[in-house]
Amino acid sequence: MSTTFQLDTATSRANPTPQPMKRLTVPAIQRRKVEGVTADPLVMLTAYTARQAQLLDPHCDLLLVGDSLGQVIYGLPSTLPVTLDMMVAHGAAVVRGSYHSVVIVDMPFGSYEASPQAAFTSASRIMAETGAAGVKLEGGVAMAETIAFLTQRGIPVMAHIGLTPQAVNALGGYAARGRSEAEEAKIIADGKAVAQAGAFAVVIEGVVEPIAVALTQALSIPTIGIGASAQCDGQVLVTEDMLGMFERTPRFVKRYGDIAGMISATAAAYAGEVRDRSFPSAEQTYQPKA
């Protein structure tokens, strides 16, 4: 039996509550793909806080503490300024708020590229201080040696190929990848390299669909698509994107709600009642005892 942290509505404090369910494991995720086929697609969403994790956890197989938190939480222009300290703090919060999903934490830019040894130092800190099940890093052939180094030392690695946001400056923007023969060949080679190096799964982002389908069919490890194909072994989205928290919706995102509109309308209702002095009413205030 595992433990999560439920909010005590009387105090707003988080208290540990046992849950009648064991957390999924990395090997369990790998076993979902049998003879090249995943009959039950993997569901993955981003999470950055304990409360968000509590709400998403029952519906997901994996929760990704993405470096997208730089833009979503901190208002940064890209993922590049995100620090290891940020990832560790949010990773620990998501682990505390979940009990079912496999929690994976992004390794931020600059924390793993220098050498396999540097990557191990960063990854081991993430694992030790968050309790996460594994880490994710961007790059294909160039990162294969690092992936092998980490996995051989007991750190599960999810790879990330195709459109890799940390390399946006080198790529020249966020356009879909794989439109040329050279790009297609590179993406295919990257996918095969990370699988051979020992990655337990691979995110395929922003590639033309036939490449995602070909890789899904060719690789023995699960593929997680984002802007790729429904034929991938699973899908991931930035939760705030699919909830409708931002005005702009990327092409590959389906908006399943309008949380931004709901928050704005609710704040407007509150502001109106404060200004006309109808809040707080007798129901929200403490009166002398008779």
Kindly list the catalytic residues: 205
**Cα separation of 289 and 159, whole Å?**
63
Among 174, 177, 221, 171, smallest CA distance to 201 is for 221
Is 106 annotated to bind a ligand? Reply is yes
Among 44, 20, 8, smallest CA distance to 200 is for 44
Is 192 annotated to bind a ligand? Reply is no
**Cα separation of 168 and 164, whole Å?**
7
- Tell me how crowded residue 224 is: count the other CB atoms within 10 A of its CB: 30
Is 247 annotated to bind a ligand? Reply is no
Residue with tokens 């908006």: 255
CA dist list (Å): 280 to 6, 269, 289? 28, 13, 19
**Cα separation of 224 and 238, whole Å?**
13
No. of helices (H) and no. of strands (E), the chain = 11, 12
Is 67 annotated to bind a ligand? Reply is yes
Six-digit token string for 66? 């993405």
**Residue list for the binding site for 3-methyl-2-oxobutanoate:** 67-68, 106, 136
